[in-house]
Structure 1
Amino acid sequence: MHVLVVEDDVELTQFIQKGLQSEGIGVSVAFDGVVGRSMVNDRQFDVVVLDINMPGLNGYELCAFIKQNWPAIPVIMLTALGSLDNKVMGFESGADDYLAKPFAFKELLFRLKALARRHPSRAPLPKRLELLDLAVDTESHQVWRAGKRVTLTAREYALLEYLLLNQGKVVNRVDLLENVWDVHFNTNTNVVDVYINYLRRKIDHVEPKLLHTVFGVGYMLRAEP
């Protein structure tokens, strides 16, 4: 599970982030609504936690934006505005749950897990992923390049599938560690780079090259050189 926390209280955000990471949950944070909106546009989260009073874009507006574009992503309002009118406004903007401050971390954790179970936000995989002459069958995990079968290990396949799902976008090492290796903390391991090289040898033995390094940023699959 990966949670986005949009909250302008830095100390509270760090408290939530540390607590969730200790439970093995991935966390991304934004300190204002505009940045939060950009992050939701860039990747899919399992649950979004929103404060209401934030600079740039308030929680009601951001919640409405999320629900308009990704209605399956559950949203929980986490705010000091605990009046009935505030709760009604939160639910009318599309919130799935509402937790008033101050709160017990265990209650937040319970509600997040309950929302993730009730509202699986991840769309089902297409049966086939393609990029030029690279093709992947997501049910059998078979891979072809230029009409020939490519044999991948389970981890190489998971890496290729994630890159294909994000083809045309730069994916950084942290995203790959979280989504392919399920590692939700900072690490200096070079395992991503090692497996990128493994994958490159197997799928880029012909032209055009599809797996590109964006130096200082990450990696991407694209058809253009």
Structure 2
Amino acid sequence: MGVRVLLVEPPGTGSRRLAQALRAHGYDVVHAPTAARGDELVHSGAGVDLLLLDMDLPGGESTRLAGRLSGRLPVIALSSGPSQVEGLDDELLRPYSLTVLLARVDAVTRRALPHLSLARAQVDFGIRLEADTRCIHGPAATVALTAKECDLLGALMRSQGAVVTRQDLMAEVWDITWVGASRTLDVHIATLRGKLAASVGHVSSDREGACTRIDTVRGTGYRLVPAGAH
């Protein structure tokens, strides 16, 4: 059985992008544009397991909804500043990256919903990405990343070995689709390859090999390849 996340956030590009990332990460997502609609879904038998709540809804709606549901459901707040609501399971302050948000959702799920599991098969890349501290933990070393490098590696790991297009990476990490910005992506991939190589203890490049590596898929994008794969 998978985890159903109720996302309460006004409609728009941000909410669509967040819902897509959660679904790609293995979560079942239902979206409510208002606190009132979110409350209805919780009480309608929709099978909600976790609440992801925008605390900046107008009129104090978010605070009231969080107060009613905390203790009944795990609640993760998304806010522009520290909230005064007690009993939250976690809170992320804007701006935050999708990599950090998904890591926090995973952590709350493991802690508060141990009887449920994500409905996805996991590829073992032989490394662990710690989004909060921006570090790769590998068999050879723990290596620090920049914020963008962390977001890039997180996006590649979430794809579970599938190709991620250049456009999708630029949209997720830089929130832009301007084609001319793709040179920035190439530079970040190059530095990330070097840090990944240091973490796993091998050369990481565009060729087959025994190490975990980032491959370029010509004309499309990049993919993270686990050790020993071809």
Q: Which TM-score band applies after superposition, normalised by the shorter structure?
A: 0.3 to 0.5
TM-score (norm 1): 0.45
TM-score (norm 2): 0.45
Return the index of the structure with the highest Cα Rg. Answer: 1
